[in-house]
Amino acid sequence: MLYIKLKMICQHHKFLYMLLLCLPIVIPASSYPLATYQIQTSSNKTQQHKDALLLSNALDYFMSEKYHESLLILQQLDKKYRLNPRYLAYLGVCYYYEWDYKHAIKYLNEAIPQLENFDPHERSLYFYDDAESYFYMSEYEKAIPLYQEMLTLCYKNEKPDALYRIGFCYMFTKDWMNARDYFAMALLEYKKYRNTSDMKARIIQITNMIIGCQQHLPKGFYQIPVCHSLISDQLLNTTQKDTLINISIKKSLVYKKQNK
């Protein structure tokens, strides 16, 4: 879902490579998001023409989800020119899909702070891929704030995935309270926005994860508190809070019966 939006953005900017064919001078830094990349030094119009065509091919590959092919071209251009922040982000996404999480983090971390005025949903994609890269490198504490940034920018039906991941981040660091809270929020959001046949297994899994986290908490923690985060108020209304508490109480009663 996130990538549909990114493809549309790529298509919108596809015409810009043609602009480069007519520009023998340096493109001002202040013009970047319209500039595809900034030419540092170049007097060779023929080479400029070839590089503009290469950029077009890289965008075509990117839109077709051929990230390896796109990466090879963008790497080549990155060595010759100073790519603008959006194309640095594209490089990061390509590295992410190549499972090269170290380089994905490098490029996404460089690009994201420079994209504050860009489309929120596009930015949510970069935050998510950056968070995922840290997640797969087991750097959970660094992944959490990136997932949380993504939550403030993405569409509502995309929130459950980030909440689900944050739950695992806290679980892997043995913060059982926060893990339980985020799994509970993920469960609510999946049921609300993604309660489809392909999500049934995940919904069951999350329910079991909540039970597992609950077992690690001290006795008496039978209610799920509101998670102390900036996103909790955006995600949970009063009815949902009551639902969480009821779920927790019912599960806790099961534990008590099992322990007798």
The tokens describing 194, both together, are: 């993604």
Identify the residue with better confidence: 254 or 66.
66
The bridge status of strand 82-83 relative to strand 37-38 is antiparallel
Burial profile 189-219: b = 16 or more Cβ within 10 angstroms, e = fewer: bbeeebeeeebeebbeebeebbbebbeeeee
Calpha distance 72→224 (Å, rounded) = 48
pLDDT confidence band for 127 (50 / 70 / 90): very high
Q: What average pLDDT does this structure show over 103-129?
A: 96
Q: What per-residue confidence (pLDDT) applies to 208?
A: 94
| pLDDT at residue 6, rounded to an integer | 54
Q: Cα(59)–Cα(74) distance, rounded to whole angstroms?
A: 9
CA atoms of 99 and 102, how far apart (whole Å): 9
CB 74 within 8 A of CB 94: yes
Closest CA to 94 of 110, 111, 70, 116: 70
Query: Which contacts (CB < 8 Å, 24+ apart) does range 109-113 have?
Result: 110/85, 111/85, 111/86
What is the reported pLDDT for 43?
Answer: 53
Q: Is the pLDDT of residue 239 over 60?
A: no
Task: Summarize pLDDT for 102-114 with one digit per residue, the tens.
Answer: 999 999 999 999 9
Q: What is the pTM of this model?
A: 0.73
What phi and psi, each to the nearest 5 degrees, are found at residue 82?
-95, 100
pLDDT higher than 90, residue 169: yes
Between 187 and 48, whose confidence is greater?
Answer: 187
Residue identified by tokens 């922040």 is 85
Helices marked H in 137-237: 140-151, 159-172, 176-193, 200-215, 232-235
pLDDT tops 60 at residue 188? yes
Q: What is the 3-state secondary structure (H, E, C) of 157-177?
A: HHHHHHHHHHHHHHHHCCCHH
Q: Which residue has the higher pLDDT, 31 or 184?
A: 184
Q: Which residue has the higher pLDDT, 4 or 111?
A: 111
Residues contacting residue 255 through CB under 8 Å, at least 6 positions apart: 214, 215
